Amino acid sequence: MKALRLHRAFEAIWGTPRGWRGTVCSVNHSTLGIRLMVTAFAFFLIGGVLAMLIRAQLATPHSAFVGPEAYAQLFTMHGSIMMFLFAIPMFEGFAIYMLPKMLGTRDFAFPRLTAYGWWCYLFGGSMLLVAMLAGLAPDAGWFMYTPLSSKPYSPGINSDFWLLGITFVEISAIVTAVDIVVTILKMRAPGMSLDKMPLFAWYMLVTTMMMLVGFPPLILGSILLELERAFGWPFFDVTRGGDSLLWQHLFWLFGHPEVYIIFLPAAGAVSTILPVMARTAILGYGWIVGAVIALGFLSFGLWVHHMFTVGIPHMALAFFSAASTLVAIPTGVQIFAWLGTLWAGRPQMKMPMLYLIGFFIVFVMGGLTGVMVAVVPFDWQAHDSAFVTAHLHYVLFGGFVFPMLAAAYYWLAHFTGRQYQYRLGVSAFWLILIGFNLTFLQMHIVGLLGQARRIETYPAEIGWTAYNLVSSIGGFILAFGIGLFLIDILLQFFHAPKSKRNPWSAGTLEWGMTMPPPSYNIASIPHVEGREPLHDRPDLALSLARGEGYLGEPRNGWRETLAVGTSSGKLDHIVVLPGNTTLPIWTAAVTGSFFLLMLLKLYWLTPLPLLALVAMAWRWAWLLGRKEDVGALPIGHAQSAPTHAEVQDPPGWWGSIFLLTADGTFFVSLLFGYAFLWTVAPAWPPPQLFDGGVLSLVTGVGATALAVIGARVASRRLQRGNGAGGGMVLIGLVLLIAALSMAILGAPSPTEHAYNAVVAVLLAYAVFHAAIALLMQVFVVLRARAGFLSARRSAELRIAQLWTDYAAGSAAIVLLAIYVPALTA
Amino acid sequence: MMGLLRAISGLIAWAVAFSAIYGLQGLGCALGWDRVMIGPLQLGRTLLIVLWLAFVAVQAWMIWHFTHHPRGSVFLNRLTVAVAVVGWVATIYTGVPVVLASMCF
């Protein structure tokens, strides 16, 4: 009875209202995770239909099924949808739904940000779909190579849809990555030190860190290309000092890690499902963690292997060829750990296991062809041929779709609350496996015979007809298989008996709750002793439902959960999470309106959504916090902990650290572009260097010092109980903005040469960050006056200090990067 | 967090080494250092080899340091040493082209 009382009490706090109001205001991670997965699957089906159209066109020579213009839109949208609107959101949705349950917590660190990410994804994805329905879909290939995607060769709005829509979706990916990293590092159940963390969480930690470092180069590239297309700033125009290879570098700095970003979460699912299917513990936990970390790093050393044929010196080719072959080793370590686990256990051939076998076969083949294209002479022969199309599908379909299908069957009961019943899934599996291999296996051969990727037709006498016809038949068999899978899954929702709790007898915490899970996940938070808490304590689920863990009694209507030390897993503080709100949907709508105005070329109106965004961000932050110290509160088991408002490093501080990590990568990528153009691009050095005068340099550097010192003075005053006196830091930041604005006014026209354009972007970056820091410092001063800050409640000041330091540091680097070459010339 | 940062420092060192060597190669070619000779040695290649060996030495020291100065949990210490070894091997392997391949052709 106690469990039922607790359930009602927690549901009243954590639940979502019914109807459309609940739809727009929910910040619950389970709801949002399911929404993301369902939407991503819908995009998968759309992308699949596009693939069918591609295969229909290529089935016979001289096909008149679609013309070349429509075909270009088909393959561009197929790639873009599968990469950006299916794969990334699918694993994000899965992680959003599953991670808090595995980690033994009640929600994500930033629930409103989770919701914002979802709405941004929906709106951004919808933009691309509207473009496709209007016949204006992007048509320059999913990697948008310049100069093909530049204005002279793609004069329509098609490429703008890609650049703006994908950037919008990437914002969603970045904020979700920050959310996931902080949740994994801080929001675990007490006792769950890093070595006791579920492997899936390790995989997601590495994946999301890769996203924070890997996505900013693409966002930068998209912004630069859109600036070139919209305003004529020539970053990629060779005639005015740009270089089209800069786009390739920025794109593949994102694009290659992206492959691993997609593969690793799926591998995390494999590492979770496989030992349960084999009825044993995973073999080589530590080895797998090491291999995943190694993959996370090494995969950033591969990007040039997509550029082996552009004319790069042999030494540089060899660096990247070496890194590309090296990355096979940590991948191999995981595969051997999985095989060893199967060998050590007693595998059972259930539905998830079938798909895992499919994964092994297909992915290993894709990995081996990957090693082939990592070798430069082979790549020179196979580059841009159907061989590469086959390779990437073996890696991505094998490495992502098969494990995700295994995951769908493994965790199905978690979503439906019903046990798997029918045998339709077996037929679906065989159709998918056979259909996939029929489609892509001989594509290797026809690629080696010379068929280039992306061609819309071919002559009958060239000898490719049979290969393509079989591919197309295979593609349709695969589509039938996916259709059957969908029917099988839907049947479970409506026509299957209730499942018992933990149907696979797994040891991870997500199975220690009712199915489908309640909005708060668990009525109390466990103290974790090992990697498989449900095996360590078989009565744990019932004990938690009775409120016998931490925070087992609702308090003040607060959404409470616990935060721990990042490595040790020791109890740190209570986190009180914000409740349902419509702020995320409004903020996403305003963000979307900015991109829409850019798309419609109504540039003069774009300051409006930017101002609205500032107002919303202000309200977003102002709604949190308290005006009094409450000290340590009891959490059960005779322990107490302070709330996050009264600790030095609450989740918000950690979120800023990781957001600044992504921001820093963006900045470094911009500096890389500057250095690349200076050393490699033709028409450099520029005809005229920046001459802004020494005064603005000295003023700017002095102002950065004043801001940094001022932020520390304000912090010290607050600690001594003298309020947050922000006078010095405010003066420093205003002076910095003035100095940077003077520099912008004195800068040469950005349309004349790529140097001028890069200088303008660097200065704009510095002004933008100084303005953010200034807003934050003003916010802190007003919050202090309103009574929200005290010596104990000082986290907001520390967060503002972080952003001020970053703004000052990046502005100093920008000033030096611009002035030093000019002064020394 | 410092424990986790320490654990991945071996591969951070590889990333820095890889970027620095690739950057120096690009800079050397842009400035024509492959055509400047210091006695029998090519300036660009000599600088690259020195930089490569310096990183190999620093990373070897990191392995020694992490092995002899454990900090925190056994798991994190093992991970730290293993990642340092991986980073060291990766620097040696991905840096070998500075000896073997033509610098700017």
Give B-chain residues touching A334 at CB under 8 angstroms. Answer: none
Q: Which residues pair with A573 in a beta bridge?
A: A563
Q: How many CB atoms lie within 10 A of CB A673?
A: 26
In angstroms, the separation between the Cα of residue A195 and the nearest Cα of chain B is: 6
- For the segment A344-370, what is each residue's pLDDT rounded down to a tens digit? 999 999 999 999 999 999 999 999 999
Q: Which amino acid is at A72?
A: A
Please name the residue that has the structure tokens 């997500």: A510
- Beta strand A639-641 pairing with A633-636: antiparallel
Nearest CA in chain A to B88: A294
| Domain at A652-824: CATH code | 1.20.120.80
Report, as ranges of residue numbers, the positions in chain A whose pLDDT lies below 70. Answer: 1, 422, 722-725
Give A-chain residues touching B87 at CB under 8 angstroms. Answer: 297
Whole-structure pTM value: 0.95
B93–A297 C-beta distance less than 8 A: no
Ramachandran area for residue A232 (φ above 0: left; ψ -120 to 50: alpha; else beta): left
The Cα-based distances of A565 to A172, A196, A572, A660, A810 in angstroms read: 27, 13, 6, 21, 30
Give B-chain residues touching A319 at CB under 8 angstroms. Answer: 18, 21-22, 25, 94-95, 97
Alpha-carbon A616 to chain mean position: 23
Give B-chain residues touching A658 at CB under 8 angstroms. Answer: none
The DSSP secondary-structure symbol of A452 reads: B
Distance CA A585, CA A15 (A): 18
A193 interfacial to chain B (CB closer than 8 Å): yes
A679–B25 C-beta distance less than 8 A: no
Please name the residue that has the structure tokens 């060291």: B88
Nearest alpha carbon to residue A442 among A750, A58, A41: A58
Distance CA B79, CA A541 (A): 32
∠ at Cα A184 (A100, A264), nearest 5°? 95
Q: Which residues pair with B42 in a beta bridge?
A: B37
Nearest alpha carbon to residue A178 among A212, A202, A206: A212
Which of A294, A323, A567 comes nearest B86 by C-beta? A294
Q: How many CB atoms lie within 10 A of CB A494?
A: 8
Distance CA A555, CA A742 (A): 54
Alpha-carbon A676 to chain mean position: 27
Distance CA A183, CA B40 (A): 57
Distance CA A24, CA A32 (A): 11
Query: Can you give the pLDDT at residue A691?
Result: 79
Q: How many CB atoms lie within 10 A of CB A771?
A: 16
Specify the DSSP element, H or E, that contains A633. Answer: strand A633-636
∠ at Cα A210 (A361, A669), nearest 5°? 130
A195–B75 C-beta distance less than 8 A: yes
Nearest alpha carbon to residue A199 among A107, A293, A279: A293
CA atoms within 13 A on the CB side of A25: 14
Check: CB of residue B45 under 8 Å from CB of residue B27. no
Distance CA A368, CA A236 (A): 35
Specify the DSSP element, H or E, that contains A634. Answer: strand A633-636
B23–A675 C-beta distance less than 8 A: yes
Nearest alpha carbon to residue A128 among A157, A88, A153, A154: A157
Query: Can you give the pLDDT at residue A154?
Result: 93
Nearest CA in chain A to B89: A326
A317–B14 C-beta distance less than 8 A: no
What does the buried/exposed string (b/e) look like for B52-89 if buried means 16 or more CB atoms within 10 Å of the residue's CB? beebbeebeebbeebeeeeebbebbbbbbbbbbbbbbb
- For the segment A124-174, what is each residue's pLDDT rounded down to a tens digit? 999 999 999 999 999 999 999 999 999 999 999 999 999 999 999 998 899
Task: Count residue pairs from A and B with Cβ separation < 8 A.
Answer: 106
Optimal mutation site among A208, A315, A319, interface B, most CBs of chain B within 10 A: A315
Residues in chain A: 825
Nearest alpha carbon to residue A467 among A506, A441, A432, A505: A441
Alpha-carbon A764 to chain mean position: 25
Which of B73, B78, B94 comes nearest A322 by C-beta? B94
Q: Which of residues 263-292 of A touch B (CB under 8 A)?
A: 286, 289-290
Q: What are the residues whose beta carbons fall under 8 Å from the beta carbon of A248, sequence distance 6 or more? A: A145, A306, A307, A310
Q: Which amino acid is at B50?
A: V
Q: Which two tokens stand for residue A169?
A: 């979706």
Q: Which two tokens stand for residue A320?
A: 């990247």
Which of A194, A301, A314 comes nearest B4 by C-beta? A194
Which of A286, A675, A680 comes nearest B79 by C-beta? A286
Is the C-alpha dihedral spanning A211, A216, A217, A223 positive or negative?
A: positive
Nearest alpha carbon to residue A333 among A281, A267, A370, A288: A288
Which of A290, A313, A323 comes nearest B82 by C-beta? A290
A567–B25 C-beta distance less than 8 A: no
Is the C-alpha dihedral spanning B20, A305, A755, A737 positive or negative?
A: negative
A568–B73 C-beta distance less than 8 A: yes
Give A-chain residues touching B100 at CB under 8 angstroms. Answer: 318
Which of B26, B79, B87 comes nearest A680 by C-beta? B26
Q: What are the residues whose beta carbons fall under 8 Å from the beta carbon of A786, sequence distance 6 or more? A: A627
The DSSP secondary-structure symbol of A83 reads: I
Check: CB of residue A235 under 8 Å from CB of residue A758. yes
Q: What are the residues whose beta carbons fall under 8 Å from the beta carbon of A242, sequence distance 6 or more? A: A228, A234, A235, A236, A677, A681, A754, A757
Distance CA A658, CA A755 (A): 30
Query: Can you give the pLDDT at residue A723?
Result: 66
Optimal mutation site among B94, B103, B105, interface A, most CBs of chain A within 10 A: B94
CA atoms within 13 A on the CB side of A730: 13
The Cα-based distances of A74 to A24, A136, A163, A490, A602 in angstroms read: 33, 11, 17, 29, 28
Distance CA A735, CA A157 (A): 40
Query: Can you give the pLDDT at residue A821?
Result: 85
A589 interfacial to chain B (CB closer than 8 Å): no
Q: What are the residues whose beta carbons fall under 8 Å from the beta carbon of A259, sequence distance 6 or more? A: A299, A392, A395, A396
Q: How many CB atoms lie within 10 A of CB A822?
A: 14
Nearest CA in chain B to A567: B1
CA atoms within 13 A on the CB side of B6: 21
- Beta strand B41-42 pairing with A571-577: unpaired
Nearest alpha carbon to residue A125 among A55, A6, A39, A246: A39
The Cα-based distances of A544 to A6, A514, A540, A552 in angstroms read: 11, 11, 6, 8
A317 interfacial to chain B (CB closer than 8 Å): yes
Nearest CA in chain B to A291: B83
Give B-chain residues touching A185 at CB under 8 angstroms. Answer: 1, 4
| DSSP-assigned states of every residue in A280-329 | SPPS-HHHHHHHHHHHHHHGGG-GGGG-TTS---HHHHHHHHHHHHHTHH
Check: CB of residue B9 under 8 Å from CB of residue B62. yes
Check: CB of residue A283 under 8 Å from CB of residue A273. no
| B44 burial type by CB count under 10 A (0-12 exposed, 13-18 middle, 19+ buried) | buried
